[in-house]
Amino acid sequence: MTKPLSSPRRLPSSRGDGTFRAIVIGLSVVIILVFVLSVLLLARDSVPALQHFGLGFLTRTAWNPVTGNFGAAPMIAGTLVTSFAALIISVPLALASAIFVAEYAPKWLAGPVSYLVELLAAVPSVVYGLWALFALKPLIQAFQLSLYTRFPDLATRCSELHANNQNSFSCFFFPEAPVGLGLALAIIILTIMILPYTASVARDVIRLVPGDQREAMYALGATKWEVIRLAILPYARAGITGGVILALGRALGETLAVAMVIGNVPEFAKTIWGNTATMSSMIALQFGDAQATLHRSSIITLGLLLFVVSVIVNYGARLLIARLTPKGIQ
């Protein structure tokens, strides 16, 4: 910049370029800093809990703020069970809607339907929670009550078993009490919430399947369903898998809707209807009240765990989608 004679015409422009670059790159580095800082802060605040309980924190089942005894196992189980159950239910539904929009619907219908599916992703978590609490919970309660009146023998047997902390296959599906809240309601609401993520990725990759693939199958005399099953779905499989993993990432971190309906008891659920907690629901509900260092640190360790898992899951999903969508390579 101090050589005006050698390149007089480049001087003002290159100085502006330098400043502009510095601003743009500086602000972009902020993004990296946010990430690094998050990891460092969460790790630092997790130290007391990890020091006290060791890695056994992950497998311990107790969670008692009064006695200062903390373990993450019930919350890890709650997160995994709700997320995977929601995933299993939502994938076929999401695929159905994606196939419908891409292959079956006439043009005038495809647009509105995919718009509605995308709006499902725009509904805030708390609104899902409110709806679940006021509209779905009474229905679940009524259903649970009808189980009691329809199967009185099972009700007596299961209440004895549950009182003794035992279980059996049939009692696993029988509610302990007709409270409505619990695992089942959380799974239903999560299913609805993650549907649009799988659906929109699946729709996009199905649309990327080249037309000749379809035409070749039709030319062989295949029916529409055969074309979808044998030509389209295999071709789009990797991209769809990416969408499913993305939805899994959403499900793992979903907080308030689940916190509002799962009951938030830091224990394993005894039945499919039972009350339990997820990592994120526990953070949401206990962090504000956590006074003791160990309690607070245990909650932040749940946050760190959630952070690490989301990074891995999302990175994996993005890799899959990025590698497979551009030109639909195999």
Partner 1 sequence: MQATRSGERSLSAGRRGVNAGMAVIITLGTLLVIAPLLWIIIYLVTQGISSLNLDFFTRTPAPEGETGGGWLNAIVGSLIMLAIAAAVGVTVGVAGGVFLAEFPRHRLMPTVRMVSDVLAGIPAIVVGLVIYSLVVLHTGFSGFAGGLALGLLMIPIVVRTTEEVLKLVPLAVREAGMALGLPQWRVIVSIVLPAATSGIITGVMLALARVAGEAAPLLFTAFGNNLLNFNPGKAMSALPLQIYIGATSSYDENQRLAKAGSLLLILLILIASLLARAASRRR
Q: Which of residues 58-97 bind partner 1 (CB under 8 A)?
A: 92-97
Q: 70: which strand partners? A: 63
Nearest CB to partner 1, comparing residues 171 and 324: 324
CA 249 from chain centre, in angstroms, equals: 4
Sign of CA dihedral 66, 70, 75, 77: negative
Q: State the binding string over 94-133 for partner 1 (x if CB under 8 A, else -).
A: xxxx-xxx--x--------x-xxx-xx-xxxxxxxxxx-x
Amino acid identity for residue 124 in this structure: P
**Residue 151 beta carbon to partner 1: minimum distance, rounded to whole angstroms:** 27
Distance CA 89, CA 172 (A): 19
User: Given candidates 5, 27, 163, 219, which one binds partner 1 under the rule CB under 8 A?
Assistant: 27
CA-wise closest residue to 188 among 259, 90, 256: 90
Chain residues 160-179 in contact with partner 1, contact rule CB under 8 A: none
Instruction: Please identify which residue in the block is written with the tokens 């509904």.
Output: 123
Q: How far apart are the first and last CA of the chain?
A: 52
> In the complex, what is the shortest distance from the CB of residue 93 to partner 1, in angstroms, rounded to a whole number?
5
Measured from the CB atom, is 90 or 271 closer to partner 1? 90
- Which of 69, 141, 167, 314 binds partner 1 (CB under 8 A)? It is 314
Return the residues of window 269-298 that contact partner 1 according to CB under 8 A: 280, 283-284, 287-288
CA dihedral 24, 30, 35, 41 (to 10 degrees): 170
Q: Is 311 in the site for partner 1 (CB under 8 A)?
A: yes
Helix (H, G, I), strand (E, B) or coil at 9: coil
Which residues, 227 to 256, sit near partner 1 by CB under 8 A?
228, 230, 246, 249-250, 252-256
Q: Which is nearer to partner 1, 271 or 297 (CB)?
A: 297
* Shortest separation between residue 257's beta carbon and partner 1, angstroms: 10
Q: Report how far apart, in Å, the C-alpha atoms of 329 and of each of 97, 254, 324, 326 are.
A: 24, 32, 6, 8
Smallest gap from Cβ 177 to partner 1, in A, equals 19
